[in-house]
Amino acid sequence: MPESENSDTWKLIYTRSRQEKKVSDWLTKYQIEHYLPLMRTLRVWSDRKKWVDMPLFNGYIFVHPDSNQRDQILPIPGVVKFIRHNGEDAKVRPETIELIRELLEKGYNVSQLDGNEDFGPGDKAQVLDGPWKGQEVEILDLAGESYVLVTFEHIEYTLKVRLPKEILKITQKGDSSSKSLWEHL
């Protein structure tokens, strides 16, 4: 059996704008295993404030269809396409899905980074505790707060995650500008 039919890897679908939850409902209805990571966010309007669950990755849902279910996904209202990489469906390792789940369940502060932001090279560190224990990460300093920069393959999203500096151990110093960032932490 080809790897795509006998694999634990997940796939990624792209949805129309603000259709992630509706697509998730359809996937549930068709009993297709999927994961829509949601983060609780305070939304402010002129007349009220409300906590809402927003998709962590706008326009993306992770799916884990069996070989017979793949063709059922594209006709679902709101689904645009499967994300492709090197001529085939992009694959996301189960470890990546588990990492995202743990990250959100443990309540880490997560937000999306604007891909156009200009960051200089920073220090490399190893995470000593938590869901990313053992992972090497890059330290950033945004508005006086320390963040760990994590890039997920095939998603083309970068996340900034606030981690306590106590659980980080420097493994490599960046250039002189990043040294000054570390000294301020």
Are 114 and 178 members of one domain? yes
Structure tokens at 38: 């949601």
Of the residues 52, 79, 105, the one at which a domain ends: 105
> How far is the C-alpha of 95 from the C-alpha of 160, rounded, in Å?
19
Q: Which domain holds residue 51?
A: 11-105
Are 58 and 133 members of one domain? no
Structure tokens at 114: 């604007």
Instruction: Say if 6 falls within a structural domain.
Output: no
Q: Single out the residue of 137, 145, 127, 140 nearest to residue 177, CA to CA.
A: 140
Are 120 and 83 members of one domain? no
Q: How many domains does the chain have?
A: 2
> How far is the C-alpha of 160 from the C-alpha of 109, rounded, in Å?
8
Of the residues 63, 82, 105, the one at which a domain ends: 105
Of the residues 67, 82, 105, the one at which a domain ends: 105
**pLDDT in 10s for each residue of the chain, 185 residues:** 344 444 688 999 999 999 999 999 999 999 999 999 998 888 888 899 998 999 988 899 999 999 889 999 999 999 999 999 889 999 999 988 998 898 888 877 676 655 444 443 467 777 777 777 777 777 766 444 555 656 555 556 667 777 776 677 777 777 644 443 334 33
37, 53 Cβ separation under 8 angstroms: no
Q: What is the CATH number of the domain that holds 97?
A: 3.30.70.940
DSSP letters spanning 103-143: HHHTT-EEEEPPTT-------EEEE-SSTTTT-EEEEEEET
